[in-house]
Amino acid sequence: MTVTITYGSPEHPNSTITPYRSLTRHTAPTVEPVTLAEAKVQCRVDGSDEDAYITSLITAAREYVESVLDVSLISQVWEARYDTFPLWEIILPRPPMQAATVTVIYRDTSAANAFQVDAYATPGRIYPLYEGVWPAVRGDENSVTVRWTAGYGASGASVPATVKSLIMLLVAHWYEMRQPVVAGYSQVLPVPQTFETLLAASGWGGYR
């Protein structure tokens, strides 16, 4: 079943947006927001025996934070597929969107000149040109592919400090607690309030 979400805009208050059929990460980030050295300081680890394990925790923590906040931290390419173009705008998930990086493909043809990009909105979005008409498609499954680059930048230096702190807190917590529960304790405590406070401060505000 296809669900249509109503979204009002000043120009088109009754416009609708058809949700994507699929959303996949086309190209993963090549670096992490937090370095191994930073994570080891947080975990209070001096040796190198567990470098590979801590590195895997950094990646897992980054993916968790991205999922919870619905954001992209380091530059990465996302791809959404639709059966057809919407009546008006296409909202691009996993912000922040990077400017001038959107590719729209339909009928195996690039529609590079068929839309305008609003990279300043959060999340980013694309519209048809000023005539207000998208290219015609047959409406078959996955007829339209939208590909864009998202993320704060190509290095961890571009990522907000609050988000980097979230990742380091998670890494240290998972490094210390390697099982879902800890035997011998009468009470299992959650990650301290520091994590929840930083998480609340890092959100950009949902659109769903």
Contact assessment for residue 207 and residue 91, using Cβ atoms and an 8 Å cutoff: yes
Q: What is the pTM of this model?
A: 0.77
- Each residue of 64-86: pLDDT tens digit? 999 989 999 999 999 998 888 88
> 184-203, pLDDT tens digit by residue?
655 656 655 667 767 776 76
Structure token digits, residue 69: 């906040």
Q: List, for residues 98-110, the tens digit of each pLDDT value.
A: 865 677 777 655 5
